[in-house]
Amino acid sequence: MSDSDHRNSLTIIDNRTGKSYELPIENGTIRSMDLRKIKESEDDFGLLGYDPAFLNTCSCKSTITFIDGDKGILRYRGYPIEQLAEKSSFLETAYLLIKGELPDKERLAVWTYNIRHHTMTHANLTKFMDGFRYDAHPMGILVGTVGALSTFYPDAKNVGQEESRKLQVRRLIGKMPTLAAMSFRHSLGFPYVLPDNDLSYAGNFLSMMFRMTERSYKPNPVLEHALDVLFILHADHEQNCSTNAVRSVSSSMVDPYSAIAAGCAALYGPLHGGANEAVIHMLKQIGSVDKIPEFIRSVKSGEGRLMGFGHRVYKNYDPRARIIKKIAFDVFEETGRNPLLDIAIELERIALEDDYFIGRKLYPNVDFYSGLIYQAMGFPTEMFPVLFAIGRVPGWLAQWIEHVKDPEQKIARPRQIYLGEECRHYVPLDDRPRRGDDEQKFGICRL
């Protein structure tokens, strides 16, 4: 090993055997498979890494999204999220995530045309949608209908073919708002609204959500822009729970509709896509600005929980939260001020000046203000994770494409540490002790 290689390596001494091992360091990581070289004996399987919830494990190499949690940095393909939110559109950002570069005018026009002309769904999908209960959660409906799309497009199973992948990308980005709006109107018993390809991506979604008897729907431009920016902010966020689900499921080379449905299912959970709904409940529970100090005391004593603060990755102010806070004021100028906003602003001010929260690096995240905006725009809380899913689809698809094309990837199959029983022999039912008599052990295999 050269001096340069030695400097970029990790020396491990196994105190069980006294042997020394040199493991290469690449991009600040060691390969977990290199740990298998460390054995106590020749028939030993080798050392494994134990990392529940992937707190310190890299599952892939990616060129899509960069996050520096300590500095509060988020970039898509190298572009700061602040610039994209201010200057780009959601469909342009989607192009960037999937293609890797910003489009020129001609490519953006073609891309936008292709997405808009894949917004319609098969008529039989309406019958499928109607099969859900009247009170079914919109996110549960979305999980089912996205997965069902794979039966309408059997060509999607050709994941190794680039042209097929491109077609499924256009279909999924185009149809997600349609499915989302259908799930919402199903819960209200309203007739479904067909897509209007003369509107923008966000404007078309608002039309399919809220259009009633108008001959033509004209979305409020402020709300339309706010929704477009929110979609951008949610478009990708590195290897989070739902993205990991998409990659893990797609590692079996399943069609993208099934993989994206897995992402939607992961996003359905309250610890992921439902976090902004929890913020709304918290603000309602506080009730008024004068009760914030009492709530802060309950959080410090462990009796309450400060929702919308803190993040697994960010140990600084979530850059998306700064953008959303500004959008919130723009939206409330149109819709009227939500009394919960005053509680949120004062709660943020107190928390950011309190050593208890500063010391724990608890800063507002993307969920703190996004729920207030959605609520002001007329979306019920049940739709919050659905809105999240619409924005996240381009990121999921970019991650799916990257995973499928990565020659290092194989079907996902993590290891486990088995702590269960040793080999036991089957005992006939009549010979077993009564349930609850757990002191009597039987059938233990002595090998």
Positions marked active-site: 311, 367
Q: How far apart are CA 21 and CA 31, in angstroms?
A: 13
Collapsed DSSP state (helix, strand, coil) of residue 191: coil
In what side-by-side order are the strands of the sheet with 79-80? Answer: 65-68, 73-76, 79-80
Q: How far apart are CA 263 and CA 248, in angstroms?
A: 10
Q: How far apart are CA 86 and CA 96, in angstroms?
A: 15
List all residues 6 or more positions away from 334 whose beta carbon is below 8 Å from its beta carbon.
220, 222, 223
| Residue bearing tokens 């009227």 | 336
Say if residues 135 and 187 touch (Cβ distance below 8 Å): yes
CB-CB neighbours of 225 under 10 Å:
18
Say if residues 56 and 313 touch (Cβ distance below 8 Å): no
DSSP string covering 247-280: HHHHTTT--HHHHHHHHHHHHTSTTTTTHHHHHH
CB-CB neighbours of 345 under 10 Å:
15
Q: How far apart are CA 183 and CA 261, in angstroms?
A: 15
Segment (H or E) for 80: strand 79-80
> CA-CA distances (angstroms) from residue 394 to 207, 261, 391, 421?
21, 13, 7, 45
| Number of helical (H) and strand (E) elements in the chain, helices listed first | 18, 5
